[in-house]
Amino acid sequence: MKYIVILLLSIFALSSCGGEVDTNAVAQVEELMAQNSYESAQKLCDNITDVENLEEIPVMDLCQLSLVYVKLSEQMNEVENMAKATKCYHAASLMSADSVDAYISELPVEDIQYAEMLRRLSDMIDAPREYSEHEEEADSCDGDCANCQRDVCINNETNE
């Protein structure tokens, strides 16, 4: 019952603030996570990030939410929560990379791995994909141009 009251108060606070995020709501998410109340934390996180533009959320709150979403992904909705974590982290990085770096520098050691993973995922959003030699070899047709699915085989023969 206590969790429901906290959740309802948080939702009310978010809806009454006219587009601005209640910083206490982010602290409440952390509290819910510490109490292993993952469903309530999930609902509150989703309510906080359910804004037209993530830039409405302060950078530090986005950083916190990104880590909460990663931790939630370990408990439920793995793919969806990782996507949301990456989206929050990416938005925070675009708004202020220095603030994100400052936030990460203050993280406990056990959370740095999450931040590093989010940084790499976020970097992949803007960076073109580079193939390694191993990937290119695995993607080739090994000279069997008759069964090759490519328009132009690696042996420069045109498939028809």
> Residue 122 in 3-state DSSP?
helix
CA 44 to chain centre: 16
pLDDT on residue 48: 93
Distance CA 145, CA 96 (A): 50
For residues 104-125, average pLDDT: 94
Chain length of the chain: 160
Confidence band of 37 (pLDDT split at 50, 70, 90): very high
Question: Does pTM surpass 0.85?
Answer: no
For residues 127-132, average pLDDT: 63
For Cα atoms 133, 139, 141, give the angle at the middle one, nearest 5 degrees.
Answer: 115
